[in-house]
Amino acid sequence: MHHGDTQSSGMHSDMNQKQGQHHMNHGHHMNHGHHMGSACGEPAKLEEVTKTIHLDAADEMKFNFKQQLDISQGDVVKFVVTNTGKINHEFSIGNESEQEKHRAMMRNMPDMVHEDGNSITVKPGETKELIWKFHGDPKVVFACNIPGHSEAGMMHRMTVGE
C-alpha cells in the first residue's frame, strides 16, 4: 500500500512537470504570435487612419475590395472586412515569407483562432476592422491562412507606392 502511494505521488509530480512544460511552450508561442509588427508595417490606432478600404471575404475564396488599393508608404489604412460567406475567413497582412510561416502554423494548429496585430478572423456575417500602418517591405500580401483558403485563391498581392 505504501509503495502504491509513492508511485502515485511520483506520477503526479511528473504530470505537473509536463503541464508546466506545456504551459511554457504555449507562453513562448503566444509571444511569437504577438510580435505585433511585420516587415510591411505595424498595427496603428484609429485616430491615425488616413484612408479606409472596405472588402468582403467570400466563400468563393476571394477578397472583394470595394476601393482601389492605392496605398503608399506611411499610409494608415483601416480595413473593414465583412464575411459574406458561411465559413470563417481570415484577413492577414504580411510579406510572402511571413504569410507562408503563418499558413504553416495554422496547418499545425487548425483549431487555433489566430489573431494578433496583423490578422483578424471574421465569422460568417461579421464585420471587423484591422488598422495598419504601411512601411518597410513594399511587397505586401493580404491572405486568408485558414488551411486551403489562400491556396484556393484567397490572397491578394500588391506593391505599396513610395
- Is the pLDDT at 12 greater than 90? The verdict is no
Q: Average of pLDDT values for 123-129?
A: 98
Q: Average of pLDDT values for 5-34?
A: 41
Contact (Cβ atoms closer than 8 angstroms) between residue 88 and residue 63: no
pLDDT on residue 3 = 52
Instruction: Please tell me the distance from the alpha carbon of residue 162 to that of residue 160, in angstroms, as a whole number.
Output: 7
Instruction: Please tell me the distance from the alpha carbon of residue 4 to that of residue 1, in angstroms, as a whole number.
Output: 5
- Is the pLDDT at 124 greater than 50? The verdict is yes
